[in-house]
Amino acid sequence: MNQDIRDLIYQTIDKTISAEDFDRLQDAMLEDVEIQKEYLRTVSVLGALAETHVPDEHTGDVHAVAGLDHLEPSRSGVDSRQPPHGKEPSSTQALRNDRVSRLHAMRRTFTKAALVVAATLLVTLTLQSYTRGPEQTAVVLPTQSVASQQQTPFRRGLARIVQRIDCVIDTEKWGLRTPEEFHAGESIAISKGLLSVEFNNGVVVTLEGPADLEIQTGESCYLHFGRLLAITPVSDSDLDRTHFEIVTPSAQVVTPGNQFGVDVDSSGNTEVHCFAGQTELIPTRLIAYLKQNSASTPSTSERLVLEENSAVRLLCRGSVRDVNMKESIPAVPRRFVGIPRDSARILSPQSITNLPSTENLSLWFEASQGVQRDERSRVVSWDNLADGIRTDGVSARPSRTAAWQVAPESRPLWRENSFPLLSKPTGWPTLQFDGRKRKECLVTSPIECSDDLTVFVVCSLERDKVGAMLSLQSQTKIRLSQSGTEPKVNVSAMTTRSSQQWTYQRHTVKGESQLDQVLVLAGVKYSFAKNTYELYVDGRIQGSGIPLQGASQKRSHVIGANGSQAKSFLAGNIAEIVVYDRMLDDDDFNAATEALLTKYHLSLR
């Protein structure tokens, strides 16, 4: 902490701080919890100094408090704590009483002022931590909502956060900074979203909010409530298998190296789903019963062992030996959300879509690949296939990115067979969006987009519906949308000329009306440098406009809605999205168009 901040703290206490400096101190305290602690320490120390001299209740003499008498030097070699011999004159006694009275008044004034200032500032900080929180929008994720994964060495602690997806951690509501690492006894409570935590032994636990997880040791944690998916490192040797356990109000789950899910409701009832290997669990009440009866560990017959693809529900009620405390249930992998953590999967683009080039491919979503679904076949996440493409042995990105929807009510439906044709009776997998009725959309991890790009979207359009298929949220916002069965591209940009002047520009290119409830290929070529802004449908140009200039930014992009404060939700289906972070030349653009037309049998129309 620099001296300037300390000076502001002292000015606040003695009421000499200006309004501008007071706001600056508030901002600094909101950003750094250490400054808050220093402020409270300063108030405490100055308050203690004000209490170091108190009057003697019998003689009225002022002397130092015990333990602080070294702060009061003796006068003329005489210990000030010893009363003088003889009787003092009345004038001297009156003078002493006057000093005592003034000291009392100064101490009371200082104490009240310090308490009032401290309380006022802390209340202000608390209110600002709420008012400065992220806006509750339907679709947009700030960049920090999806933290990029970086393999950094552990410095201390037992676990660390490796990824966040639209996550709200409870302590952040009070302006407190979330630690990068967690120690024994610390809790992680989230009210929404997904949070992935990696322990030092390699175990990765993904929490789905609302949930409350307490770190116990480097090999165990306590799930008070909520849902999690645990993945432990795979090992061929029994000796190298990772030991890890999760304790709940009704069970102790022990794994020697598996993949399993745990769900604890508000009553403490626990469901354990085993997806790989074996999972062993012991009812918590049984552990307490054994301890009361001096039994160190339960017998083998008293332990529950779950095989792969099996599950059990343990109730947090009834007697210890009550058989109704446990109930076998089917394992449901789709109830538990996982986060892709690496790009070990290498794709062959030609096996999916025969694109002519994968250079500068920033977004690529295909409905038959990398779709994570819940129990209702609603889409939780959609992998960005561009991360799995490797050139010369080097991955396009060090970590996986995806499009996400953590709110169950806003997830689009995955359909396996859509738009069948005589030439393709089974049709194609698609994601179905139901427009404003359900406000469904997906938001990508932060990915950089420039103002030079090429976009392809294979989608369907519904008559008399308005909605956005894809919104690229760079400084120049580009939205590919529909107005009934007419596709259109809207581009907008805000340019700041000075601190007081700015201009907002917007240009729209509309296409011709297309067939209702069939797949079409919409394409966009956009480049400010080359003065190109064109809309294509099924390879035919529909119109052109004036491109706008904007800087490259790493932002989250939106599928199925128009982005910030979304009101325009897509009513239709999407089969594939391809976005290049450059404008393809004519040969590559025509080759990519032909590849998509051939794949979806659109060239036969």
Asked if residue 77 is part of any domain, the answer here is no
The pLDDT assigned to 340 comes to: 67
The pLDDT assigned to 128 comes to: 47
Q: What residues contact 513, with CB distance under 8 A and at least 6 apart?
A: 484, 485, 486
Q: Do 174 and 123 belong to one domain? A: no
Q: Do 279 and 414 belong to one domain? A: no
Q: Which domain holds residue 541?
A: 358-599
Q: What residues contact 442, with CB distance under 8 A and at least 6 apart?
A: 379, 381, 382, 403, 404, 405, 412, 431, 558, 559, 560
Sign of CA dihedral 493, 486, 557, 131: positive
Q: Do 256 and 310 belong to one domain? A: yes
| Contact in structure between 146 and 556 (CB atoms under 8 Å) | yes
**For 393, how many CA atoms within 13 A lie in the half-sphere containing its CB?**
0
Position 513, amino acid: S
Which of 273, 303, 335 terminates a domain? The answer is 335
pLDDT tens, position by position, 263-304: 999 888 999 999 988 888 888 766 555 555 555 555 555 678
How far apart, in whole angstroms, are the C-alpha atoms of residue 552 and residue 532? 17
How far apart, in whole angstroms, are the C-alpha atoms of residue 94 and residue 19? 43
Angle at 236 (CA atoms; ends 234, 238), nearest 5 degrees: 100
The pLDDT assigned to 1 comes to: 62
Q: Do 368 and 449 belong to one domain? A: yes
Asked if residue 272 is part of any domain, the answer here is yes
Q: What residues contact 455, with CB distance under 8 A and at least 6 apart?
A: 470, 472, 478, 480, 522, 523, 524, 526, 577, 578, 579, 580
pLDDT tens, position by position, 442-492: 999 888 887 789 999 999 988 788 888 999 887 778 888 888 778 888 887
Asked if residue 201 is part of any domain, the answer here is yes
Q: Do 492 and 377 belong to one domain? A: yes
Counting Cβ atoms within 10 Å, is residue 286 exposed (0-12), middle (13-18) or buried (19+)? buried
The pLDDT assigned to 63 comes to: 46
Position 401, amino acid: T
How far apart, in whole angstroms, are the C-alpha atoms of residue 528 and residue 452? 7
CA distances for 298 relative to 191, 290, 293, 303, 324, angstroms: 36, 7, 11, 7, 19
Q: Do 39 and 99 belong to one domain? A: yes
Q: Do 465 and 575 belong to one domain? A: yes
How far apart, in whole angstroms, are the C-alpha atoms of residue 226 and residue 91? 75
Q: Do 120 and 202 belong to one domain? A: no
pTM over 0.75: no
- Residue 347 in tokens: 């794709």
The pLDDT assigned to 316 comes to: 77
Asked if residue 348 is part of any domain, the answer here is no
Query: Closest by alpha carbon to 144, among 560, 445, 594?
Result: 445
Asked if residue 253 is part of any domain, the answer here is yes
How far apart, in whole angstroms, are the C-alpha atoms of residue 333 and residue 229? 10
The pLDDT assigned to 136 comes to: 35
Question: Which residue matches tokens 């491919």?
Answer: 361
Asked if residue 60 is part of any domain, the answer here is yes
- Residue 333 in tokens: 């992998």
- Residue 96 in tokens: 């002493």
Q: Do 187 and 268 belong to one domain? A: yes
Q: What is the CATH number of the domain that holds 454?
A: 2.60.120.200
Asked if residue 345 is part of any domain, the answer here is no
| Number of domains observed in the structure of the chain | 3
CA distances for 233 relative to 208, 244, 333, 559, 601, angstroms: 21, 11, 19, 34, 44
pLDDT tens, position by position, 199-257: 998 899 999 989 999 999 989 999 999 999 999 887 666 556 778 899 998 888 887 66
How far apart, in whole angstroms, are the C-alpha atoms of residue 48 and residue 29? 23
| Contact in structure between 34 and 67 (CB atoms under 8 Å) | no
Q: Do 319 and 400 belong to one domain? A: no
Written as one string, the DSSP assignment of 268-297 is --EEEEEEES-EEEEEHHHHHHHHHTT-SS
Low-confidence ranges of the chain (pLDDT < 70): 1, 30-31, 33, 43-156, 235-240, 256-257, 285-302, 317-325, 340-348, 350, 390-399, 494-504, 550-551, 564-566, 604-605
- Residue 114 in tokens: 């310090």
Based on its alpha-carbon atoms, the radius of gyration of the chain, rounded to whole angstroms, reads 33
Q: Do 434 and 558 belong to one domain? A: yes
Asked if residue 526 is part of any domain, the answer here is yes
Query: Closest by alpha carbon to 470, among 322, 580, 579, 368?
Result: 579
Q: What is the CATH number of the domain that holds 271?
A: 2.60.120.1440
The pLDDT assigned to 77 comes to: 43
How far apart, in whole angstroms, are the C-alpha atoms of residue 581 and residue 87? 95
Kindly report the length of the chain.
Answer: 605
| Contact in structure between 447 and 401 (CB atoms under 8 Å) | yes
Q: Do 207 and 262 belong to one domain? A: yes
